[in-house]
Amino acid sequence: MELSVSIVEERNVFDDHLLDIIGNEFKFSHEKGLPEWIKNCVDAYLRRDPPVADDEQHIVLHFRDGRKGEAPIFECIDFCGMTSEDIDKALKRWGDPKAASRGLNRRVFGGHGNGGKFYMRMMFERSHFITYRNGKLNIFGFNEYRKYGFARGFKDKVCSAKDAVKLAGINDLPLPQGAMDQILKGETGFTVVRGIRPNRIKGAVPVGRLCEKVRFHPQARKIVQRKRIRVLHNGQLVLERLAGEQIELRPGFENLPSIPIPTTLPYEEDGHVEQIEFADKKYPAGQLKLMVAKEPFGRNSRISELNCIDILGEIGVIAWYRIHELPQLKQYAQAEFIFGECCCPILEDPDEDCVKNHREKLIDGPKTRALLRWIAEKVDEVGKEIEKQEAKERKLQNLKLTDEFNKILNTWKNQFMDKFLGEVLGGPGIGTTVGGAGQDGTGGGTSEKSTTKGGTGGEGQARGGGEGDQKKKGQSHPVVLLSSYNPDPFGNGDTLHLSSRHYPVYQRPIDLEHGVYWINTSRPLATAILERHGAESARWREYHFQRFVDIIVMEALHTMEKKGMELTFDLVENKINDVIKTVHDNALQSLSPFLL
């Protein structure tokens, strides 16, 4: 027989030790705790009726050094104020998701209303709020035993605004313009959150380092960009406004589109694949926005913490992950350029809440793992695009350097071929092609009626025309160009792009007519050498030189054919061997610094 039981509900009872256990998550560092105070200030402005505009939300961080027996002090000031009722309904409550909003139907940055209080409780010897509103002053905080309550005699203490600011110690501070007047006129109140004797700080407060850390922290980054946060040190103004870091984006990646999160994502465990829901009627599908910085963040750089993905909730950051924390990331080197944010409303579904108390990481589980794996895949996709761009940039840089080498080889080739044709092939004889215009010499004319004969062509151009009264065309030197780099002399100024299937040395009919050769930089071997070893390597210089040897051999065969030689196999073989031998001997003398 089943026993029928009806429970009479009572208030939860818990030991303060539970606060210590949970608070250990918040016993983190000051650069993580200060953003919690800043968020509380912003929420105070958002709860005002009407909410205060961004440009009018003033927040003051004030740091006092420990000296002459006085303890160091941290303060965070807003110009709103609280009543004792606010304290009873919100500050006294732990783990209430509605605490930050005070029951109002407004979006605020605070989560469960714990972060700022735990920071006060765990990271200072003593701490308290000094808050003034509607002519009443309240002081509420934690003593050295981590017990909280109102200060004796300071619950709803009636006093003037002038006395309140003096008691709070803010009457002589360089506050934002107009802030003090508004308090004294009764138009607004104020709250000073004060932490006394902060952990790990004994004397001088490292204000610069703290501010740098705060402005990069995920919980504060977006607030810093939009709100006016003033920084004081020992009562003196040190920063008119704490500014966010401006990240210059990488050219070509300035306008990456947002990526919609699929309504379901797969999650695999022990061979079983489960489809995890990421959108329903109440929670729309989210999106991922990735951005690419011009320079890598690096692992230990000043801004390395920005190399992350912020997870956004209904308002504010609910978690964040450094890029290297994403699971199964493949494009790690390229990912050091990437940052972004992922908005995923369903993570805050109370039926399956994935948000941790300290809002640093999501609660581990299938939904979190599926989302992070998907984010990693999208980061890898962008990383592959970065890698492609880097490959193009490397190739362009290699080709730029190769072009300098190409000029050296062209000059050597022209000087060598004048002597080579006479020694190996029995002299140039009567010219058969039009003389070049010349760059540094007196080139032959460009028509058969030219009166300038016998000139010496410029670099990479033609030799002069034939001598005497004979109207003969001049012999030109071949011009060697690099595909995908040098301008096409017969095009519109663009370069000639060849595929990996074209010959290593390529000529079109028009190139053949004008003595132009292209070294195909897209050939697999050429590409592999450039990518693996670079244009300055001995391997690439050898490859580059060998293409010039190929061209000289082809020119020699063309000359033999024009001379009417009977091209038997033995003759061709002997001449090619002579050409290669002569080329190598000359190169050893003339190109040793280049080749060796």
pLDDT for 47-92, tens place per residue? 888 888 878 899 999 999 998 889 999 999 999 999 998 888 776 6
d(CA 570, CA 329): 61
Q: Which residues pair with 377 in a beta bridge?
A: none
578 Cβ partners below 8 Å, 6+ apart?
Answer: 424
* Least confidently predicted of 85-89, 163-167, 551-555: 85-89
Find tokens 């990240």 and name the residue.
Answer: 247
Query: Average pLDDT, stretch 282-302?
Result: 87
What pLDDT score does 423 carry? Answer: 61
Domain with CATH 3.30.565.10 in the chain: 19-239
| Residue 365 near residue 358, CB atoms below 8 Å | no
How are beta strands 308-312 and 338-343 bridged, if at all?
parallel
| Residue 120 near residue 127, CB atoms below 8 Å | yes
What pLDDT score does 121 carry? Answer: 87
100-131: burial string, b at 16+ Cβ within 10 Å, e else: bbbeeeeebbbbbbbbbbbbbbbbbebbbbbb
| Residue 494 near residue 487, CB atoms below 8 Å | yes
Query: Average pLDDT, stretch 397-411?
Result: 88
Query: Average pLDDT, stretch 561-566?
Result: 80
Residue 466 clears pLDDT 50, i.e. is over it? no
Selection from 211, 246, 245 nearest residue 229 by Cα: 211
d(CA 294, CA 338): 9
Sign of dihedral through CA atoms 213, 214, 215, 219? positive
H-type alpha helices, 4-139: 16-23, 30-47, 84-86, 115-123
Query: Average pLDDT, stretch 252-256?
Result: 93
202 Cβ partners below 8 Å, 6+ apart?
Answer: 66, 72
> How big is the chain by its Cα radius of gyration, in Å?
39
Query: Average pLDDT, stretch 477-495?
Result: 89
**Residue type present at position 591:** L
Asked: is 19-239 a CATH 3.50.30.60 domain? The reply is: no
* Least confidently predicted of 226-230, 271-275, 470-474, 571-575: 470-474
pLDDT confidence bin for 454, thresholds 50/70/90: very low
pLDDT confidence bin for 6, thresholds 50/70/90: low
Selection from 595, 406, 420 nearest residue 516 by Cα: 406
d(CA 124, CA 247): 34
Nearest 5°: phi and psi at 319?
-170, 165
What pLDDT score does 393 carry? Answer: 85
Give the tokens for residue 68.
């002459």
Angle at 592 between CA 588 and CA 594, to 5 degrees: 130
Residue 101 clears pLDDT 60, i.e. is over it? no
**Residue type present at position 147:** K
d(CA 193, CA 140): 10
Residue 363 clears pLDDT 80, i.e. is over it? yes
573 Cβ partners below 8 Å, 6+ apart?
Answer: none
- More confident site: 196 or 454: 196
Give the mean pLDDT of the chain: 82
Query: Average pLDDT, stretch 338-350?
Result: 91
Query: Average pLDDT, stretch 272-276?
Result: 91
What pLDDT score does 7 carry? Answer: 52
Residue-wise pLDDT tens digits, 141-153: 989 988 888 999 9
Residue-wise pLDDT tens digits, 213-248: 898 888 788 788 888 999 999 999 999 999 888 889
Cβ neighbours, 10 Å, residue 524: 9
What pLDDT score does 399 carry? Answer: 87
What pLDDT score does 425 carry? Answer: 58
Selection from 511, 521, 434 nearest residue 479 by Cα: 511
Q: Which residues pair with 236 in a beta bridge?
A: 233
Residue 459 clears pLDDT 80, i.e. is over it? no
| Residue 59 near residue 109, CB atoms below 8 Å | no
d(CA 385, CA 206): 41
Query: Average pLDDT, stretch 198-216?
Result: 91
* Least confidently predicted of 84-88, 469-473, 475-479, 499-503: 469-473
* Least confidently predicted of 41-45, 157-161, 243-247, 282-286: 243-247
How are beta strands 516-519 and 479-482 bridged, if at all?
parallel
d(CA 277, CA 370): 10
pLDDT confidence bin for 23, thresholds 50/70/90: low
Q: Is the pTM of this model over 0.75?
A: no
pLDDT confidence bin for 447, thresholds 50/70/90: very low
SS3 of 197, please? strand
SS (H, E, C) 218-265: HHHHHHHHHCEEEEEECCEEEECCCCCCCCCECCCCCCCCCEECCCEE
Give the tokens for residue 328.
């199964």
- More confident site: 464 or 320: 320
Selection from 323, 330, 337, 333 nearest residue 380 by Cα: 330
SS3 of 113, please? coil
| Residue 286 near residue 346, CB atoms below 8 Å | yes
d(CA 289, CA 433): 62
| Residue 493 near residue 487, CB atoms below 8 Å | yes
Find which of 166-175, 358-367, 422-431 is predicted with most confidence, using mean pLDDT.
166-175
